[in-house]
Amino acid sequence: MAVHEHPRRSSGFHLPSLRKNRDASASESAGVGTYTARAYAFASLRLLTGFVFLWAFLDKTFGFGYATPSGKGWIDGGSPTKGFLGSVAVGPMESTFHSWAGDPWADWLFMLGLLGIGLALVGGVALRIAAVAGTAMMALMWIAEWPPAKHVSDGSPSMSTNPFVDYHVIYAVALIVVAAVAAGDTLGAGRFWAKLPFVRDHSWLR
């Protein structure tokens, strides 16, 4: 008589796999760590870029002796735009910029732009508006320096080091990036700002 062995049935109860749990936990931790590092990196970019704009406003207002000599700040009667726009010597808008140089409307618009963009970036709020305004400002300043030109209007070398990319382009891209990734949510008031009713109803204010 043949004896047949019946296969043992599984009890249906399995001990949890410690290795799988460990691997999952490690993967989750790595994902969280990567997200956190990315968030802080973008927040740092936002804060540093914001400081560039905010410092430019403060130096031009009070004349700290860096780009603006002491005693020639805006509060001392100096013009924030006259020196830069008045010295434009290249590009398709040379004469236009000369006509704008030192005009009160140009001074106020430029300074309010610097202050508004700087505060928005440092605070982490209204980043989309700051990106649009800042990109427009950087575009005008790029045209004023006109990197494509090898020579200025009097024939002397322009000292341009690149026909397209200069620091104005980099700042504009940085503004767009921090707005696109909502960099104000980390080390900023971005989350609080986004919950405000008027911001919730108008996403372009984010």
Give the N- to C-terminal CA distance of the chain in Å, as an integer.
83
Mean pLDDT, the chain, rounded, equals 89
46 with 67: CB under 8 angstroms?
no
- The band of 34, judged by pLDDT with boundaries at 50, 70 and 90, is confident
Tell which wins on pLDDT, 5 or 198: 198
Dihedral of alpha carbons 71, 75, 77, 78, sign: positive
Q: Is the pTM of this model over 0.85?
A: no
Rounded to an integer, the average pLDDT of 40-56 is 98
Which pLDDT score, from 0 to 100, does residue 1 have? 42
Distance CA 50, CA 48 (A): 5
Which pLDDT score, from 0 to 100, does residue 2 have? 46
Which pLDDT score, from 0 to 100, does residue 35 have? 79
Distance CA 122, CA 191 (A): 14
